Amino acid sequence: MACEEATRRYTVISRLVETGRASWSTLPDWGQREVDAAIAGWRAAADQGLARAQYNLGFMFVEGHGVAQSDEEAFHWVRKAADQGNSQAQCILGNMFSQGRGVTQSDEEAFKWYSKAAEQGLEQAQYNLGVTFRKGRGVA
């Protein structure tokens, strides 16, 4: 299954959750099958090195969307995407280091990853970077 098809399947279920017609913790059987198919598609693409698929898998495990939440599994996939320059993955990686989720807490590493994403124009990373400067976390 192509990464795009996996994303389409996930988006359908995500919209159901956003509108209150389902929840990630109690998906109907058909919804869980769609999520499982999305994960399988992303995993195949991620194993081939596609950063967007790696990010998507990492996000699923960070949030526990249709899968058991796992900081370790999230870090595995998010780090791969971040290393390839995916700004969203870099921002999540910054959050993981800031909070010590799945990794040893490190303000310096959080700052490093927020900076990489902020340089690419990701607004959330720019905000997070501003907060690190304001609080002096990982920087003077």
Cα diameter, the chain: 51
**Global pTM value:** 0.89
Of 49, 66, 81, the last residue of a domain is 81
> Which of these, 80, 79, 87, lies nearest to 50 by C-alpha position?
80
For residues 7-27, one letter each, b for 16 or more C-beta atoms within 10 angstroms of the residue's C-beta and e for the rest, the string is: bebbeebbebbeeeebebeeb
Looking at the structure, tell me whether residues 71 and 35 fall in a common domain: yes
What's the mean per-residue pLDDT of the chain?
94
User: What mean pLDDT is predicted for residues 92-102?
Assistant: 96
3 with 67, same domain: the answer is yes
- The one-letter code for the residue type at 132 is T
Residues 44-61: pLDDT tens digits?
A: 999 999 999 999 999 999
Could you tell me how many residues make up the chain? Answer: 140
pLDDT for 5: 93
Q: What is the pLDDT of residue 58?
A: 96
Q: Assess whether 30 and 44 both reside in one domain.
A: yes
Check whether residue 62 and residue 99 sit in a common domain: no
- Label each residue of 52-72 as H, E or C: HHHHHHHHHHHHCCCCCCCHH
* 73 shares its domain with 54: yes
pLDDT at residue 139 in the model: 80
Q: What pLDDT score does 1 carry? A: 60
12-43 residue pLDDT tens: 999 999 999 999 988 999 999 999 999 999 99
> Could you list the residue range(s) of the whole structural domain that residue 10 is in?
1-81
- Does residue 18 sit in the same domain as residue 58? yes
